[in-house]
Structure 1
């Protein structure tokens, strides 16, 4: 990185939420990715803040805002943009899964839109990512991820799988197309606990609007299947399906 004029984003992790050794090992594994839909991780550093050592992730800076920002502003994609967004997101997830890596926290706030373009989604924030080939530091049962975007198995405090990332993609795609969460009335969110969320997530999602692209509606329906997990399919299969449309 030295001697460059590039902009960087630096995220300092809170020690109470992240095991430093786990982050060092798992995030360093992501440095090998060179994919337009995956944020470039340049370096993992240990820095000192006061008397504490903290892990800092040095990543590329992505201009354009997140999917969360776009949804909050009511800026939904067109049909064509939505299909390009879905393909870009799923290509990035397929790249991760091909290397036996899972993200575990796919949600609108963790997907940037490069230059504000729906056709250029970029996955960020790999603080919870892990390699399936390595020993995990997480002690199960444990809920890992963000509640509204967790799969039913994650809400049950089970180990996350590739299928858990696929579920999260389904929730994101539904939200992007419809402008609302597929299961939860956000106005009543504060009144729900984890067990109630699980009950909501194991029933069919809200229907997508009739104007939704049929190819995406089929994907969302498949992705948001609580059981069996294999029925959600894979990211690569979904990319292939979208290419054929």
Structure 2
């Protein structure tokens, strides 16, 4: 299966500052590509390039095999690339259906009135198709849990034609149960044939749903592996910087008056 998105030796510099360098990976329909790294690893820069917010300065960025230099997120949306950020752009006091169609409301009749019935029905149907059973789409979206709000945003992106869904740390501020809710809906998006880019710093969240794992450190790729080629423990080791921790342990063992790292 050909890649929806393919990046080769992708890089981004801001003047003399190198934010990202030499990143190669792909995003395919019906697969989840997990991008992992600690703070400062380059995840945010990578998202900004994929979502059209920033233009890359090195390497190749292809969508459906065609080289792209996007000037804005609108260009990305036109190509079917939608981004759901951690700080969701929702209006807490508005009902779920208004947030679902926010900025894209269908209208009817000579006076161009909002088609409220269509919006409510569509919202309920689209959420149900993703396995989200809300009792009432009239309830304010602010009354939903963090996980449920993330899932509404995912369903919205699918409804408006996303082929590639970029999720920016969707489980970062959630507890174990709500993280599980979001991971189930990531799997549901994959089953609907979307290519999903799951940005996270948590390998325990990434491994169950991931098909490919890109690990970034200090703006560079240190691994790009398919699931068959890496175990959960190996992924955790890459994220934890096992070699660096071991070297630090040896260094501290030699330091007088300092207990060794165990």
Relative to its length, the structure with more helix (as a share) is 1
Q: Which has the larger radius of gyration?
A: 2
TM-score using structure 2 length: 0.23
Relative to its length, the structure with more strand (as a share) is 2
